[in-house]
Amino acid sequence: MASEELDSVDKGILYLLQEDARNNTTNAIGEQVGVSSSTVANRITKLEEGGVITGYHPTIDYEQTGMGHHLLIIATVPIDDQEEIVDDLVHVPGVVSVSELLTNNANLSIELVGQNKQEIEKSIGEMSGLGVDIERMDLLKRIRAFPYNHFGKEFTNEDDTG
Amino acid sequence: MASEELDSVDKGILYLLQEDARNNTTNAIGEQVGVSSSTVANRITKLEEGGVITGYHPTIDYEQTGMGHHLLIIATVPIDDQEEIVDDLVHVPGVVSVSELLTNNANLSIELVGQNKQEIEKSIGEMSGLGVDIERMDLLKRIRAFPYNHFGKEFTNEDDTG
DNA sequence: GTTGAAAAGAGCATACA
DNA sequence: TGTATGCTCTTTTCAAC
């Protein structure tokens, strides 16, 4: 039920959701991919239940929110404790995303925000207390996310006059 | 108009949007933060226009979609060409996000997906052709994103019985 | 089992206070 | 910022493929 292949309708839906997951209505999506709105709703439900779509999140420009500091941290944790530590990292103030890597060294990529250096240092301190060994830490200039561009634009009516 | 401070209503809205940006209605958000639905709609519009919210995206489990390969790449590009190269990277198949870092070395973090090694290799080749110098490349185990936990949960009625 | 059409209910945008 | 109205969207049901 989960890892079934996606057909062109699913791919088109995913593509359009990646463009705007909040304001793209099932109606509009249906018109773009050539099915009715109820079909779109059914498909989306299945994609959610099947674990393909795991959530919907806004992309936030932290600099606009007073979070002057936005960092990307590469760190190492013991593999056996990786999951547990990541669970704890959720509760560290300022940590907004964590990517787990399948390596021994530098197996964690952590996105951290804070209003000032004090907040950052406090978060760093908490992370260290959890057993996170920071390898490097760089200022984030910008993050860009885009629809997986071969996911289904071909299955929509969108015009690419770029 | 853009970088004004956020009040508790804004923070509560952002928190709830980060929990579920698609299914959280203005009505539900309004009840949680204690304002009317129209106020929520007005605030969201301002957050969008002010550049605080730059988009809404689903989180997709690429492994469930037949994309067996999910990589995180650390790469270096010439600083002067960074923006231009990132613009080009958008069009490389399989590239789903790019983070620009403010450093000389390893100033790009690229998330790449593909159905098989051939696709990955093809994408790598295109990236190299753009002047992207790959420093390291690791398999992604999992990515987790969470609401910035000190952003406004305190301003909602949510119960944290975890 | 999946899709599409229609009805009922809910949510959203606009105007106005 | 809140309230009210008209309009749109979503959801459910049910028939058809």
Considering its fold, how many domains does chain A have in total? 2
pLDDT value of residue B154:
66
Domain identity same for B73 and B51? no
User: Is residue B3 pLDDT above 70, yes or no?
Assistant: no
User: Is residue B92 pLDDT above 70, yes or no?
Assistant: yes
In 3D space, the residue among A64, A83, A1 whose CA is nearest the CA of residue B144 turns out to be A83
pLDDT value of residue A116:
92
Is the CA virtual torsion B13, B19, B24, B30 positive or negative? negative
Q: Which residues of B touch A144 (CB under 8 A)?
A: 86, 90, 97-100
Domain identity same for A47 and A23? yes
Q: Considering the entire predicted model, what is its pTM? A: 0.87
Of all nucleotides, the one whose C1′ comes closest to residue A10's CA is C2
Band (B5; pLDDT cuts 50, 70, 90) = confident
Domain identity same for A52 and A67? no
Domain identity same for B67 and B134? yes
In a domain, A155, yes or no: no
Among all residues of chain B, which has the CA nearest to that of A53? Answer: B60
Task: State the average pLDDT over residues B43-50.
Answer: 93
For residue B90, the domain's CATH number is 3.30.70.920
pLDDT value of residue B75:
97
pLDDT value of residue B159:
57
Q: Output the furthest CA–CA distance in chain B (Å, rounded).
A: 53
Cβ of B2 within 8 Å of Cβ of A56? The answer is no
For residue A41, the domain's CATH number is 1.10.10.10
pLDDT value of residue B131:
96
pLDDT tens string, chain A, 162 residues long: the values are 344 678 889 989 999 999 899 999 999 999 889 999 999 999 999 999 999 999 999 999 988 888 889 999 999 999 999 999 999 998 899 999 999 999 989 999 999 999 999 999 999 999 999 999 999 999 999 888 877 665 566 667 665 443
Domain identity same for A49 and A69? no
Domain identity same for A25 and A79? no
In a domain, A158, yes or no: no
Alpha-carbon span B37 to B20, nearest angstrom: 16
In a domain, A1, yes or no: no
Half-sphere exposure of B51 (CA within 13 A, CB side): 9
In a domain, A156, yes or no: no
Domain identity same for A132 and A69? yes
Domain identity same for A13 and A71? no
pLDDT tens across B143-159, in order? Answer: 888 776 656 666 777 65
Domain identity same for B51 and B67? no
Q: Which residues touch strand C (CB under 7 A)?
A: A 9, 34-36, 38-39, 42-43; B 25-28, 37-38, 41
In a domain, A91, yes or no: yes
Distance from CA of B33 to the nearest CA of A (A): 18
Domain identity same for B114 and B132? yes
Domain of residue A74: give its range.
63-139
User: Is residue B9 pLDDT above 50, yes or no?
Assistant: yes
In a domain, B155, yes or no: no
pLDDT value of residue B161:
45
Burial class (CB in 10 A: 0-12, 13-18, 19+), B45: exposed
In a domain, A3, yes or no: no
pLDDT value of residue A84:
95
Domain identity same for B70 and B116? yes
Q: What is the 8-class DSSP label of residue A5?
A: P
| Strand C bases, protein C-beta under 7 A | 2-6, 10-15
Domain identity same for A27 and A67? no
